[in-house]
Structure 1
């Protein structure tokens, strides 16, 4: 009963409206101020800022510096989510995270290790099969700086997205609509649309949104089926961290000092679609076997319990 955990706080609709507005202001405006201030001190920074082009801003500041300030906006956003939940909704971080008695860090680590292993295997398999598409990009000092920034901040960035999308919004929309399918689909579509300004979309076209929306749908499914955010938190952190450290390209959001550089002509190919239509379904099977998932239809499309029904069941469980 993950969505119903919101009943442990205050659930008035106006609180969710106020909360979303507050999170967006802190994340997109206050969080962006350090980046804008840094750009303003550099030659060409103002024009890059006005263009809104990620590549131009990265060139002005340097890739690692730009990455730091870009990820810092998500740190502001994560703090905003936690403050909104604590002070506007009077809800605990635990109930925003999971329906279990306590946060299951073993689930986070299992998901992280599993997807890291698969991602690394896919990357090096592609390098082996198409060596002409990659060049070794390793430079010790820039890579070490990248590693420190990425390891410290990318999990915060991905956690912010999970706590906002699969946490705060999933619970809020579920409570308001009294069903599970709408928050699942809405947050998946919104997750994809939030990536529409990424450089990858400009290079590969809107077809790449299938990958982003599909990833959002996968993360939503594992959240609802597992009754908590733990698997999604581990998966998302692993996905972005391996991407940042291992392979970069001039046309990606993470154009940084990674181990390898993809120098191929960007095309929307099978490698973008296989995860959504092949790998993610296999992962759902793996997770379902490991954690004993059942009753898929009700958990993904069924109704959300009323507040009275939820607390009645919870009291029976505690009894």
Structure 2
């Protein structure tokens, strides 16, 4: 049982150890639960969608699958990914035996203001990236035309609802569960960050070596931000804005949402610009994190376990007066209060 008088500080990637009931097998069992539960939920949702589409008279492709159209089909693809969020939270609570909020940050919750700031930082950075890609040399493929407001607006409404959930789901799986599962075995943050970045890139398929490298860099940057800022907010902000702009541009052109291409298929010119944008986002977010008036929590304080050394028979602890707590001569001065902010 935990000792309330003793405590230790754990960074985000080590929060699997925050539970007094942590055992080495819990991260492995939780990973199997998430993968198996997601595959089962995927099959059930896909079967239900296929049955409904057949009854509604939607056409089928040469493999016998219902073709819902670009907007509905994209919505289903995003929903398949969103299914992972409740599975991760259940694995944290039921198998990890710790509060579900520890999957979000070291504070035990998703920090809304910090997430909003990260979204505001990512928006101009990735808008500039996509504008810069228009200046890259184009191939001989004719540019697609404007899809029209009657196509774009319904698609945009769907994307604004589902893309943030889809991006958050991938963050909770890779930068959340996997990072903390590996961090339960190894104290080094890089050992926890690198494997999830490679798995994240592999989950998007193999297109070009440049596209795969870009996804690895994205995963490394998001993972490092998660550890440095103590939560998923910076990674979610990066992922949400990146995907919203990419999907939004696809919805704006004719048949843009029909394409099967992902970031894994990106050419080297686009990857070079994207890596610069990722680096700029990381630098700005860390700058804001270091200069916040109220410091951003990077570790969680958790009770340390009691000593298991048995006491001698009939042992009585001597009465001792508590030692005075003296200020350290090297202690940093207290930070000034922020004007206009409640403490």
Name the TM-score, length of structure 2 as normaliser.
0.70
Distance 1:286 1:267, change over 3 A: closer
Contact 1:39/1:46, CA 8 A, preserved across alignment: no
> Are positions 1:12 and 2:23 aligned together?
yes
Distance 1:102 1:47, change over 3 A: closer
Equivalent-residue separation in structure 2 for 1:246 and 1:74 (angstroms): 21
Gaps of 5+ in 2: 1-10, 292-300, 306-343
Contact 2:118/2:234, CA 8 A, preserved across alignment: yes
Worse-superposed segment, 206-215 or 239-248? 239-248
Equivalent-residue separation in structure 2 for 1:5 and 1:112 (angstroms): 25
What is aligned with 2:309?
A: none
Equivalent-residue separation in structure 2 for 1:190 and 1:306 (angstroms): 30
Matches within 5 A, 1:1-319: 1-9=11-19, 10-39=21-50, 41=54, 42-45=58-61, 47=63, 49=65, 60-100=67-107, 102-127=109-134, 134-196=143-205, 201=207, 205-247=208-250, 255-256=256-257, 268-276=267-275, 278-292=276-290, 308=304
Deviation at 1:209, TM superposition (A): 0.1
Equivalent-residue separation in structure 2 for 1:267 and 1:216 (angstroms): 16
Question: Which structure: larger Rg?
Answer: 2
Deviation at 1:31, TM superposition (A): 2.2
Deviation at 1:46, TM superposition (A): 6.7
Worse-superposed segment, 67-76 or 127-136? 127-136
Contact 1:207/1:268, CA 8 A, preserved across alignment: yes
Equivalent-residue separation in structure 2 for 1:190 and 1:246 (angstroms): 27
Which of structures 1 and 2 has the larger relative contact order (alpha carbons within 8 angstroms, sep 6+)? 2
SS at match of 1:61: coil
Name the TM-score, length of structure 1 as normaliser.
0.75
Distance 1:84 1:125, change over 3 A: same
Equivalent-residue separation in structure 2 for 1:152 and 1:74 (angstroms): 14
Contact 2:12/2:231, CA 8 A, preserved across alignment: yes
Equivalent-residue separation in structure 2 for 1:115 and 1:105 (angstroms): 15
Deviation at 1:233, TM superposition (A): 1.1
* More helix per residue: 1
Contact 2:81/2:169, CA 8 A, preserved across alignment: yes
Deviation at 1:257, TM superposition (A): 7.8
Equivalent-residue separation in structure 1 for 2:71 and 2:46 (angstroms): 12
Deviation at 1:47, TM superposition (A): 0.3
SS at match of 1:47: coil
Worse-superposed segment, 147-156 or 280-289? 280-289
SS at match of 2:184: helix
Distance 1:90 1:267, change over 3 A: closer
Alignment size in residue pairs: 276
Equivalent-residue separation in structure 2 for 1:267 and 1:287 (angstroms): 25
Contact 1:97/1:167, CA 8 A, preserved across alignment: yes
Equivalent-residue separation in structure 2 for 1:157 and 1:48 (angstroms): 26
What is aligned with 1:297?
A: none
Contact 2:38/2:83, CA 8 A, preserved across alignment: yes
Deviation at 1:238, TM superposition (A): 0.9
Equivalent-residue separation in structure 2 for 1:291 and 1:19 (angstroms): 31
